[in-house]
């Protein structure tokens, strides 16, 4: 079973629509990271959340961490074609080791 579940696996939205991607950890979270991956490229760091209830925003992307539920959500407001890509959440479950990553959410934004 996966330690980190992401949903949905893929998402197609029309430009201008809002969307939410969820990430649930089966283990205690010491930190939750969100990355964006473009096809054939490396991962681009978006945000890191550490404290329960923490919320961070960057441009039109907002991420929240619900520590009790061991969940995080990534919300994109008024999506644009430039938001298309694969979004990955990464979890630090021990505080000592490298991150465990989910399988990603593939986002397509249709003009």
Partner 1 sequence: EADIYQTPRYLVIGTGKKITLECSQTMGHDKMYWYQQDPGMELHLIHYSYGVNSTEKGDLSSESTVSRIRTEHFPLTLESARPSHTSQYLCASSVRDSTDTQYFGPGTRLTVL
95 vs 111, beta carbon nearer partner 1: 95
The CA angle 5-13-19, to the nearest 5 degrees, is: 50
Which of the stretches 17-25, 38-46, 58-66, 75-83 binds partner 1 when contact is defined by CB under 8 A?
A: 38-46
* Residues in Cβ contact with 17 at an 8 Å cutoff, skipping those fewer than 6 apart: 78, 79
Q: For the segment 4-33, give every residue that binds partner 1 (CB under 8 A).
A: 4, 9, 30-31, 33
Distance CA 21, CA 36 (A): 12
Q: How far is the CB of 16 from partner 1 (least distance, A)?
A: 27
3-state secondary structure of 82: helix
Residues engaged in binding partner 1 (CB under 8 A): 2, 4, 9, 30-31, 33, 35, 40-45, 48, 50, 88, 90, 92, 95-104, 106
């Amino acid at each position: 079973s996966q330690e980190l579940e992401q949903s949905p696996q893929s998402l197609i939205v029309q430009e201008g629509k809002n969307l939410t991607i969820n990430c649930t950890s089966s283990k205690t979270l010491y930190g939750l990271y969100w990355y964006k991956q473009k096809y054939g490229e490396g991962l681009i760091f978006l945000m890191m959340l550490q404290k329960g209830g923490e919320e961070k925003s960057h441009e039109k992307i907002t991420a929240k961490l619900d520590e009790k539920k061991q969940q995080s959500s990534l919300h994109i407001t008024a999506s644009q074609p430039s938001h298309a890509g694969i979004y990955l959440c990464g979890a630090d479950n021990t505080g000592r080791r490298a991150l465990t990553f989910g399988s990603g959410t593939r986002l397509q934004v249709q003009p």
